[in-house]
Amino acid sequence: MRPIIITCHNGAFALPAAMDLLKAGGSAVDAVVLGCTMVEANPEDHSVGYSGLPNLLGQVELDASVMDGNGLRAGSIGALQGYQQAAQVAREVMNSLPHVLLGGDGPMRLAAEMGLEPTNLLTPEAEAIWKSRLTDSDDRDASYLGRIKQMVNLAEDPQIAEQTGTGEPAHGTVNFIAMDMNGDIATGVSTSGWAWKYPGRMGDSPVIGAGNYADNRWGAAACTGRGEMAQRCLTAHSVVTFMRFGMSLEEALAQGMRDLDALDDPYASEMNILAIDKDGNPGGASSNPEKEFAVMTPEMTEAEMRPRTYVELDILKR
């Protein structure tokens, strides 16, 4: 099979290395984990791995998942602190444990057993963005519950977007979806989640079926945006299921987006989906008309940016 790999705008720089791995006969799982590892190490990206934006207590907590469409194998971790290679730890759950999802101290323990280097994930730049809206940071535990509503919307604030250096909001994720030379499909998702989130909050990224799903027989999908929306609609699994029952890739993406309109969600915000069908055709959809995704096939020397299909969501107008 001709390999292919796709990602979000913030993963485009990692595609040449991931494609080299696929061209050398590497697996789709290893290609998506390599891509996530590179983004997790990028100090300029405040939405994934090292230098991610922290929760309300100033702790960086990482969520990640990996799914192998060959046999529906999956591993995921939530709220990992102190190690940046979140996707590698998720792959280890899949490969070495009789489990799918690890939370609590489990991901940290597994990272140490893997021999990964502990890292202080909070950089001065990320800390400055985090602190910029916490005037009473000395007493920050006290009124947390009263503030969470304000904080969840703040992540979308245009002024905060300026401070992230990319013009992007104070949340984000990276998705990679690959098909290898054997025709196996895999997805990898990694994030530091929503800035100022409640400690221990996990988004869609570590929830198989919500932010990540891969099945060699029908295709794969992964999400970015407000994780609670994808969790409630099981968006990634839905898109794959729509293809299973005969929709084209584009129809499945659009239906996955439109399903979100049923949600009663006062915090509704931007949602984005990436997908490939079982033949490796790529596509993307977004509630933001500006959003693109990156594609790489073997003959390309660098990633190609393509527009995502814009799907207007009524829930964002309510």
Does 227 engage in binding with ligand ASP (CB under 6 A)? yes
Q: Which is nearer to ligand ASP, 26 or 227 (CB)?
A: 227
Q: Please say which residue, 21 or 240, places its beta carbon nearer to ligand ASP.
A: 240
Q: Which of 209, 225, 283, 284 binds ligand ASP (CB under 6 A)?
A: 225
- Residue 273 CB, nearest distance to ligand ASP (Å)? 11
The active-site residue out of 173, 191, 224, 235 is: 173
Residue 96 Rama label (left phi>0; alpha psi -120 to 50; beta): alpha
Which is closer to ligand ASP, CB of 49 or CB of 172? 172
> Rounded CA gap, 40 and 158, in Å?
24
Residue pair 175/188 in contact (Cβ under 8 Å)? The answer is yes
CB of 28 to ligand ASP, least distance (A): 22
Q: At its nearest, how many Å lie between ligand ASP and the CB of residue 32? A: 16
Q: How far apart, in whole angstroms, are the C-alpha atoms of residue 281 and residue 261?
A: 26
Residue 204 has which token pair? 């869609």
CA Rg value for the chain:
18
Task: Report the residue count for the chain.
Answer: 318
According to the binding rule CB under 6 A, does residue 191 interact with ligand ASP?
Answer: yes
Nearest approach in angstroms of CB 220 to ligand ASP is: 17
Distance, in Å, from the CA atom of 276 to the CA atom of 184, rounded to the nearest integer, reads 12
Q: Residue 173 catalytic?
A: yes
Residue 200 to residue 209: CA distance in whole angstroms? 20
Please report whether residue 205 would count as binding ligand ASP according to CB under 6 A: yes
Q: Are 244 and 147 in contact (CB under 8 A)?
A: no
Contact code string over 141-180 relative to ligand ASP, x by CB under 6 A: ------------------------------xxx-------
Element (H, E) at 174: strand 174-179
Return left, alpha or beta for 48; rule: phi > 0 is left, psi -120 to 50 is alpha, else beta. beta
Residue 13 or 198: the one with the smaller Cβ distance to ligand ASP is: 198
Residues forming the active site: 173
Residues that bind ligand ASP (CB under 6 A): 171-173, 191, 193-194, 203-205, 224-227
